[in-house]
């Protein structure tokens, strides 16, 4: 039986050899986040405010979120290489910009009938860069769109909305529907004989729906607190910065070596699993200290950490806090 992301984080932390969680770091970072939540700086409102994101009133918003999150993985590049850039933006925001550009150009990119058979050349044009750099793992992105498009057409009458309605306002039900029906979202590994899961993109998909609709209508989930943080290669850098995570000398050496870690490698699994448990502990710490009229969950904490990594990128590089490098479709 595959453990849930939350159970996986606890188990991996307990057995981890290369990564540890530091209680002092939990307290220090927890107190900072408490201030941001109490002041209103960190909330569902600020989470969803960005010019590249759709508004809940856009009739195509749900389809946009599904397509973007199906393609939302692996944007990193080696230090000596030129990165993939769209309209001056990199990473996730470059992806959003590219999809918005395609919609303006009347490409039917939000329609599963189109993307279930999209060609490599068609997707390459949709995701074309400002420079000569092609988006990483383009072939895998084509396959992912084919997989999810075919499943929508075969099982859900060609509409992702039917997946959401079938979940009946339960984030955990929607998570199961996504991971059961869309293979490219099945983010699992075997760690020391245990079947574990992270479901980074599947949980982001649920969270993005929740944030876009501000926990109303299609985005109303009565158990959103069950979602964990989204275990990727950037948020652990922020946890490392705040001394929430502590890496062993062996792990630091491997990361500084620019080594590529295979998806499912013990070191990679420990970074991701311990990140999940660390944010779970942060959530528990913060819940006991925020104002009674405020709320917190792992999604908001993840957003704080991901945003911190983007806004403090130079400082993190200067402090030589490495990220783990893995080519895969899961994050």
Residues annotated as part of the active site: 232
CA distance 14 to 16: 6
Q: From CA 185, how far away is CA 147, in angstroms rounded?
A: 10
Taking CA 32 as the corner, what is the angle to CA 11 and CA 285, rounded to the nearest 5 degrees? 40
Phi, psi dihedral angles at 189 (to 5 degrees): -155, 165
* List of long-range contacts for 205-209, beta carbons under 8 Å, 24+ apart: 205/65, 205/66, 205/69, 205/178, 206/171, 206/174, 206/175, 206/178, 207/299, 208/65, 208/68, 208/69, 209/62, 209/65, 209/164, 209/174
How far is residue 213 from each of residues 47, 170, 210, 216, 306, measured CA to CA in Å? 11, 14, 6, 5, 21
221 and 63 in contact (C-beta within 8 Å)? Answer: no
The token pair at 74 is: 């692996």
84's tokens? 């993939």
Phi, psi of 325 (to 5 degrees): -105, 115
């Amino acid at each position: 039986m595959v453990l849930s992301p939350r159970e996986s984080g606890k188990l991996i932390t307990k057995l981890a050899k290369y990564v540890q969680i530091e209680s002092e770091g939990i307290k220090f970072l927890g107190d900072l986040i408490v201030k941001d939540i109490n002041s209103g700086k960190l909330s569902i409102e600020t989470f969803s405010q960005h010019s590249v994101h759709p508004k809940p009133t856009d009739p195509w918003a749900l389809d946009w979120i599904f397509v973007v999150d199906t393609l939302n993985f692996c944007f990193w590049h080696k230090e000596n290489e030129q990165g993939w850039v769209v309209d001056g933006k990199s990473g996730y925001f470059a992806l959003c910009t590219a999809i918005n550009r395609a919609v303006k150009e009347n490409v039917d990119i939000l329609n599963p009938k189109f993307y279930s058979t999209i060609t490599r050349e068609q997707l390459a044009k949709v995701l074309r860069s400002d420079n000569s750099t092609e988006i990483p793992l383009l072939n895998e992105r084509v396959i992912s769109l084919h997989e999810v498009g075919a499943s929508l057409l075969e099982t859900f009458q060609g509409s992702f909305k039917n997946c959401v309605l079938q979940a009946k306002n339960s984030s955990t039900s929607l998570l199961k529907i996504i991971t059961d029906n869309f293979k490219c979202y099945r983010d699992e590994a075997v760690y020391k004989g245990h079947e574990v899961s992270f479901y980074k993109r599947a949980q982001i998909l649920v969270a993005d729906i929740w944030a876009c609709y501000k926990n109303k209508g299609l985005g109303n989930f009565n158990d959103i607190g069950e979602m964990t943080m989204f275990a990727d290669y950037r948020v652990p850098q922020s946890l490392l910065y705040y001394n929430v995570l502590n890496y062993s000398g062996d792990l630091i050496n491997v990361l500084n070596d620019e080594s590529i870690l295979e998806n499912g490698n013990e070191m990679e699994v420990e970074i991701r699993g311990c990140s999940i448990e660390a944010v779970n502990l942060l959530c528990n710490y913060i819940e006991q200290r925020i104002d009674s009229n405020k709320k917190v969950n792992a999604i908001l904490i993840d957003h704080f950490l991901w945003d911190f990594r983007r806004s403090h990128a130079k400082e993190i590089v200067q402090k030589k806090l490495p990220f783990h490098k893995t080519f895969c479709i899961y994050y």
